[in-house]
Amino acid sequence: MAQVTLKHLIVAPLLTEVEGSAPTYGTGRKVGHLMQANISWNRGDVKLYGDDKLVDRDNSITSGTLSIQSTYLDRNDRLMLLDMKAANTPASGETQEYELGGDASPYVGAGYVWKDNLISDKPYIAYWYPKVQFGLNEDMNTKGESIEYGTPTIEGEVFAVVPTADMKNRFRLEADFATEAAAIAWVDAKGNYSP
């Protein structure tokens, strides 16, 4: 794979999830400038033995871990992705305070676009993960002799949804496009995002 583009991270709050129907989402957001996205799939490993040998194996996907590095997460991104809430209702001119609680982070949908340079007809590939629950890893450093950029990494558990009448689990949707604009429009539509 000769990947040359990775961009356009869209995240949207998951509103409804009913088996047999596509999930619905609140208004999506473009989150920072996407730097890196990694997915690792977790698979079951159940083996069936008979006649003293292995006769079948189920190694189906059970979940996934999606790790995303972005240039920044602003306050509204954090409010949507984490268990973070406004702690007070300030009067005009007063400081708004926020608190990070101990409750579970909300479920969201997330997607992005990348380009495979070895594919000639439809090189732009759009991904949409219908149900993810993110956490945030924070590393902060003081300024030293030279500037060192600090960028946030969010890591989330990818869950299955059952979006169609066939009642099968789906962990990720993807589509191939001839143009970057078409791939971005697909992710925007999935995430209920209007630029």
pLDDT, one tens digit per residue, over 82-114 is 877 778 788 887 888 887 777 789 999 999 999
- Report residue 140's pLDDT band, with 50, 70 and 90 as the boundaries: low
- Residue 38 is predicted with a pLDDT of 93
pTM: 0.85
In sequence order, which residues have a C-beta less than 8 Å from that of residue 36 and are 6 or more positions away?
6, 67, 68, 69
CA–CA separation, 65 and 132 (whole Å): 9
Domain ranges of the chain: 3-190
Q: What is the pLDDT of residues 22-62, one digit of tens each?
A: 999 999 999 989 999 999 998 888 888 888 888 888 888 88
Distance of alpha carbon 137 from alpha carbon 70, whole angstroms? 12
Structure tokens that stand for 77 in this block: 């991104």
Structure tokens at 21: 């129907």
pLDDT of residue 104: 85
d(CA 159, CA 20): 15
